[in-house]
Amino acid sequence: MSTAADTSVLRLKGVNKRFGGVVAANDVDLDLPPGVVTALVGPNGAGKTTLFNLITGNLKPDSGLIELRGHSLADVDPRGAARRGIARSFQDLRLFEQMTVFENVLSVMERSALPWQPGGHAAARARREKADATLELVGLTAWRDARAIDLGYAEQKFLSLARILVTDATLWLLDEPASGLDPASYERFVRLVRGRLAHGITICLIEHNLDIVHGISDRIAFLDQGTVLAAGEPRAILNDPKLAAIYFGERR
């Protein structure tokens, strides 16, 4: 019989990370099942961003295991994580503001900063066609030749998502991807993200807006002070009065 750990895309087992006297990850066990949106929820300082940094190799755990499809990520740096199919967004988006929307998407497909790329003209044409198809998928074709800095906030969010989508990564780590979106853009975002699950994508996101958590996630992992206190179906977790008290700063 297979177990959740056997089928998980990503598995953290007994992961610990300290910064001096601060415990950022405390014996964390976490599994990300395939084709599922898992939300990391908890008060500020709970350790959510630290877990993303540990998964992508920006930080190394003091102890514990982090495995992607059964293979250790112990020696993987952020570039290696990307090569293994892990893509990440950030709250500050990190777009190339003076480059066009098209160039922003194309840039993550280029293997180096050199003007010549592997595969010659045929490969270059394929990359450009894929970039355009991705812009169409996220609804940014009309802004193709606009500079990223000239986009509205919602369009910048979708450009950040396009830069992940075009990489063909199968594990997405999204940091507050829907924050600040107007209702129409939010609905568009949910349709786009949940539509990718059928294409073999697994998603883990950090989100503080509990309405967004309800609307997009299949599972929740609730963190506090570096510890996973609970994991499961969103409604059950969010309706737990003890967890709600911690989230809203009402702990005793």
Give me the pLDDT at residue 76, please. 95
Give me the pLDDT at residue 3, please. 43
Kindly state the average pLDDT of the residues 104-122.
Answer: 72
- SS3 for 62-81 is CEEEEEECCEECCCCCHHHH
For residue 112, pLDDT over 80 is answered with no
Residues with Cβ within 8 Å of residue 32, at least 6 apart in sequence:
8, 9, 10, 11, 38, 171, 202, 204
For residue 100, pLDDT over 80 is answered with yes
- Over residues 120-136, the pLDDT tens digits come to 788 889 999 999 999 99
Domains and CATH numbers, the chain: 1-85+169-252 (3.40.50.300), 95-168 (no CATH)
Torsion angle defined by CA atoms of residues 186, 37, 201 and 68, in that order, rounded to the nearest 10 degrees: 140
The chain-wide mean pLDDT, for the chain, equals 92
DSSP E strand stretches across 56-194 = 63-68, 71-72, 86-88, 171-175
Give me the pLDDT at residue 117, please. 64
For residue 161, pLDDT over 50 is answered with yes
- Over residues 17-74, the pLDDT tens digits come to 999 999 999 999 999 999 999 999 999 999 999 999 999 999 999 999 999 999 999 9
Give me the pLDDT at residue 34, please. 95
Query: SS3 of 127, please?
Result: helix
